[in-house]
Structure 1
């Protein structure tokens, strides 16, 4: 069955070494199989420390990031685009040193403010050119590199699975694909379940949660159909449960999460892992 991971936004807005130490210890005896270490800037997070934690607890890790400090791979400012590319290179170096299994996230536009203007064809061209200039390094990394489309309130550059599929085809690397996040897809996709199936071959990472980032299996999403979709991935494929800690001021501001989503974030992750294990372990009808 697919492996289930814990996205560290449930605990921290940007993972630090001491937080990673605590999180790995807290989940090592749970139904979780790996940790998705999330940091926008990598400050306070050491690749050697992550590698040591993974080895010590027998929990692999992946790396999730966006572009910090208002950077964008589609910026009209050449220097800003170069800084954004350098951040991607830093992510790749960090992932290589730490032994991460994947690099993923909304690694495309400016995440520092909500989208207020439409992106243009020129923005799209600059995004493709930026990734074209990074293609050799991403290809050399060799492991999955997954770009996440965001909902319309957070981005005007990549909103849908189809748009991200087009980016993947433009970059044309075997390890460059789509991070499908059910929260964003539930808002943006015209035919959610059909779209998930039709783009499954290009989906290199998945973020799961309830429809409002709450408890898995208790919302309006058809978890029977989602279970069928998940069972079609390879048995060693990793998907992560992503929810947010509304009690952390920085994280609640970044994610606009102003209330508890039915349960504390850690409970959503731990209990969600058990639900998912039962779901994907069930025999296909």
Structure 2
């Protein structure tokens, strides 16, 4: 297991400040926000080298005009263009993983028959996966809870989508916040995802630090150990309920 941190939670602070903080506290990698225009790839590579830390992953942002399953073909095409742009970003800064969702965030109702939306998700993400393959980038499908999407809510559904896409570089990820809502048993869901689960977002049930909520962390880590999980554990503590700076062992000078 490798430890990373999603710098989305730091808001608009300068990227060097975020990278320096994570390096100082021993993180292995950084998860960057999937908005390529926010970063200069050469500057990011230079900062990563300066502070001795890796680019682990890109957390894509699924706005309403980035939706593989939309009834609007222009929106479906834009989802592919956007994903390819973040794959390019990953290649340029040396990130291994790009997070993908088949629908826009907060779209909880269908626009098309289920089989048609599934077909569009498979075809669109497969095209992006084929684009990512020669660039050394893995796409991971992220299930969200039912209040944010309807298409894939559980790891088993993400696995089925990845199986239908059928590419060696399309896998799945888990987010413990969403899993706490949707999975009957988080440890059992993890164990059943052996061979597919390669990336994790980590926070307690209310997106605060582990131990501040009710998740059973020994059981979760036992399950990850059982499947020989070797990907990134990406800490993702979301304000305003959680303080993302509290995760660090000393006061951050602002």
Cα 1:72–1:137 shift into 2, 3 Å: same
Q: Does 1:11 align with 2:4?
A: no
What do the CA deviations read for 1:127-152 (whole angstroms, capped 9, x no partner)? 11212333321222333211111101
Q: Distance in 1 between matches of 2:156 and 2:210?
A: 25
Let me know the Cα RMSD of the aligned residues.
2.1
Q: How does 1:119-268 map to 2 (within 5 A)?
A: 120-232=114-226, 237-246=231-240, 260-261=241-242, 264-268=243-247
Contact in 1 for aligned 2:176/2:205 (Cα 8 Å): yes
Deviations 1:93-138 (Å, cap 9, x if unpaired)?
1111111122124x32112x45245872221111112123333212
Which string of whole-angstrom CA distances, capped at 9 and with x for unpartnered residues, describes residues 48-87 of structure 1?
Answer: 2221111111110121113335320111111211111011
Structure 1 unaligned residues grouped into runs of 5+: 247-259, 272-285
**Contact kept? 1:8, 1:37, Cα under 8 Å:** yes
Counterpart in the other structure of 1:257: none
Q: Distance in 1 between matches of 2:60 and 2:77?
A: 17
Is the alpha carbon distance of 1:175 and 1:132 closer, same or farther for their aligned partners in structure 2, counting shifts above 3 Å? closer
TM-score when scaled to structure 2? 0.89
Conservation of the 8 A alpha-carbon contact between 1:10 and 1:266:
no
Aligned residues: 247
When normalised by structure 1's length, the TM-score is 0.80
Counterpart Cα distance in 2 of 1:200 and 1:244 = 28
- Are residues 1:79 and 2:74 paired? yes
Match of 1:145, SS state, is strand
Query: Which region of structure 1 is more displaced relative to structure 2, 135-144 or 55-64?
Result: 135-144
The answer on whether the counterparts of 2:2 and 2:230 sit within 8 Å (CA) in structure 1 is: yes
Which ranges in structure 2 are unaligned for 5 or more consecutive residues? 250-254
Larger relative contact order (CA 8 Å, sep ≥ 6): 1
**Partner SS for 1:104:** strand
